Chains A and B, each alone.
Chain A
């Protein structure tokens, strides 16, 4: 019973008015002048001391972006964003110059401590979970610290901020940046390509199994500042890496823009497991404030037998617009997408995935669980396609929605395109509320109605929660407010 009670408490915590990461860090920052033009792009590039090729790459993206219009096909509604009324770069003053943990502003360390993110390696070692996680902490536009770098280096794994990667490993960045999400991919990806400030970079060399979980923690702090991080992960032949990103933002009345790009590349027989626990500020109970989360995430299973697995727990943001996808280019490659999207208050979620089967015998699996409550709208949008030459591809899709309350909406918009007769696709979707019979059964056995709901919701998302790395189970539980009912372990 204790576990159930815990669940109820946690469900309460996700109530939008109880966002516990909403504090603001008061810290001196250096910002780019408000607005966006070519000089903003040059400013960012110069701030980061970037080489000429990258500046040109950014400028090309900016030119493309200017000619584009915002996409309108998603089932989300919001007032038009004034892209000139935003700051595109903000960095804590203290992060200028080279940094070790000792040099990091104590104010920042305090922030991460409050967020529950361990940045001191010895603290991590002493942590209750007993397992180690390397963290890259990104605060507004810059990476403030990356932990366990040395130990990872011994294994040959490169884990650093993308700015550092541009300096230290330009050949890798040049080779892979934009190779999965091109500069002209879509409106927000182009914007990101022009003004991205920081993000994480991971390279796992051939045959190496990354010795620990990698993680990036994103924090938007500054006012009216867009966050445009860029993450690039490459798993070379036979390599394996598991990576998790988490994110939070202070409670603010105005909306904040977050337009990230994540690119994953898996070569022959490599595997990347990418998990997201997204908890940007969702806005208040009246729908005021909150982050606009317009994100492009894509993985390229470039090699044969490669595998990319996306797991996402989406609880935050006023608007979520993201479709972590897999291009299954390699023969026998495999893509997976596991998602829990919880929306409450006036949140709007339009999320899903694309599984593009280009390689022979490639397979994919999609499990999506949407829970809509309050006045929220929760949409699953997905594409599964088999190319003409991709023989024997398989997909199984299951997307279920659960409605709590009669003012919310749950929508399912899958596209299924089979251009090859040997494709074997199965798609199923259901939408329901928690059945009265089920609730009655639970209550007859002595559970309160809240306990019964918690129990049923638990069961509903269980398949997906099990996909998260063990190390992050606790955090995810906290965020989603749902306990696992003994399935951990």
Chain B
């Protein structure tokens, strides 16, 4: 079918951007080779479009019109005070941190040298010194990776490489911060590795934030690879808050060993066009995951959450709850697939996706999917779409709460049900503040 599809302007620009950047991207010859292969693979794949089932509702070929130059230097200054402004409510979360500015590690802003239980390094620095083998592992496209992950391989500059050592219980979370600053439009590709060794446990928060005044035109491609060992636990959160224009493509690939626990919360607000991809595979029995998230979209923002949970082995449990609030022309997309492989008996999988529509022009598309090849399973999914319940509004108003406040209260409670899933209290508080801020800026009705 795909005979000589015309390349779009953006696809052409990606190839050109790679040629311009190739020399300056970090890594040894083997890395260079990987990058060249990746851009070659991308040329034949092109940007994902609506005819590719997984991208049915988020057509990058149609929506990505131009490509900004890759951010190759880390010259933009950023003070601690500015970092705190960019972090907003997240600054109140007590955590060790590693900071990247425009896709490059900024050692002076970090605080992870004495992070108990963690071994933390920056990918860019590792690439400069690592052996060929290690480099090759760090810069490869995950198996089954799509065009977006392939592009990440081609352009990745930096990211956090985190290890939680065997048996360690890291009490303080690690905050991986990606800050955007500076006045020119740019494109950033980063990659993180989080490995939790057997019996260890930790909390890792990935934050994508913007210093007020920075260019709103931006493109981000972030890939996080997570491995959770036997009996290990990871609480993972990704918080992305932007100003309504940026392209935000993130993927997270998670592998769980036996009796491992993984929790992930995704918070998105103000993202122009976003794809939050999350793939989890159970490789050992007795694994448990809880994936949840809240997203807020207004103006013409578009937030896509795409999950694949692969129950490849027996006796694993998955829980998913995603809630979105859509205003103006805001569009939410939810695709959630649960696969239960043959012999993955005693699988317990449940999923719920809900959207609250605040304005006539909002749109929500949902495709929850069950693919089940084992019989002794309990699986289910649910989707609801609705506007604010007029009976509830009336009830609140009959108790004296003005309409605007009643609406805010109900929206907060709607998104709050998802935020409740976050275990770290300070993070929960920070997310609630983000939601309140967002509502404060709401045009209301």
Contacts and interface: CB of A to CB of B under 8 A. Distances in A.
Interface of A: 73, 388, 401, 403-433
B368 interface: yes
Contact of A410 (B360, B372, B384): B372
B37 interface: no
B370 A411 contact: yes
A191 to B, nearest CB: 20
A419 B363 contact: yes
Interface in B315-352: 326, 342-343, 345
B58 to A, nearest CB: 13
Contacts of B387: 421-422, 424
Contacts of A407: 342
A421 B388 CA distance: 9
A401 B372 contact: yes
Interface string B170-202: 000000000000000000000000000000000
B379 A416 contact: no
A413 B367 CA distance: 7
Nearest to A389: B360
Given A409-B372, A414-B383, 15 more contacts: A388-B361, A401-B370, A403-B372, A412-B369, A416-B365, A416-B383, A417-B366, A419-B363, A421-B362, A422-B360, A425-B385, A428-B382, A429-B380, A430-B380, A432-B377
B359 interface: yes
Contact of A431 (B53, B357, B362, B372): B372
A418 B382 contact: no
Contact of A405 (B375, B377, B381, B385): B375
B384 A427 contact: yes
Contacts of A412: 368-370, 381
Contacts of A427: 366, 368, 381-384
A407 B360 CA distance: 46
Contact of B357 (A406, A408, A413, A418): A418
Nearest to A429: B381
A415 B53 CA distance: 11
Q: Is the interface of B mostly helix, strand, loop or mixed?
A: strand
Given A411-B372, A413-B367, A416-B366, A426 B357 contact: no
A433 B370 contact: no
A388 B363 CA distance: 9
Nearest to B378: A432
A406 B363 contact: no
A433 B375 contact: yes
Nearest to B350: A430
A407 B380 CA distance: 20
Nearest to A408: B375
B355 interface: yes
Contacts of B378: 430-432
A165 to B, nearest CB: 39
Given A406-B343, A420-B360, A421-B362, A432 B368 contact: no
Contacts of B369: 411-414
Given A418-B364, A425-B384, A406 B370 contact: no
B159 to A, nearest CB: 35
A415 B373 CA distance: 21
Contacts of A431: 370, 372, 377-380
B74 interface: no
Listed from nearest, the 5 A-B pairs whose CB atoms lie closest are: A421-B357, A403-B375, A430-B380, A412-B370, A416-B366
Contacts of B358: 421
B75 interface: no
Contacts of B361: 388, 421
A5 to B, nearest CB: 25
B376 interface: yes
B365 A418 contact: yes
Nearest to B343: A406
B365 A406 contact: no
A288 B382 CA distance: 37
Contacts of B4: none
Nearest to A419: B363
Nearest to B380: A430
Given A410-B370, A411-B372, A432-B379, A418 B385 contact: yes
Contacts of A406: 342-343, 345, 374-376
A424 B385 contact: yes
B111 interface: no
- Best-surrounded residue of B357, B368, B375 (most CB of chain A within 10 A): B375
A60 to B, nearest CB: 25
A415 B57 CA distance: 11
- Best-surrounded residue of A403, A431, A433 (most CB of chain B within 10 A): A431
Nearest to B367: A415
Nearest to A410: B372
A401 B370 CA distance: 10
B132 interface: no
B380 A428 contact: yes
Interface in B65-100: none
B385 A416 contact: yes
A439 to B, nearest CB: 12
Contacts of A388: 361
A409 B357 contact: no
B383 A425 contact: yes
Contacts of A73: 53
A418 B363 CA distance: 6
B16 interface: no
Interface string B113-126: 00000000000000
A22 B138 CA distance: 61
Contacts of B345: 406
Contacts of A418: 355, 357, 363-365, 385
B371 A430 contact: no
A424 to B, nearest CB: 5
Nearest to A412: B370
Nearest to B360: A421
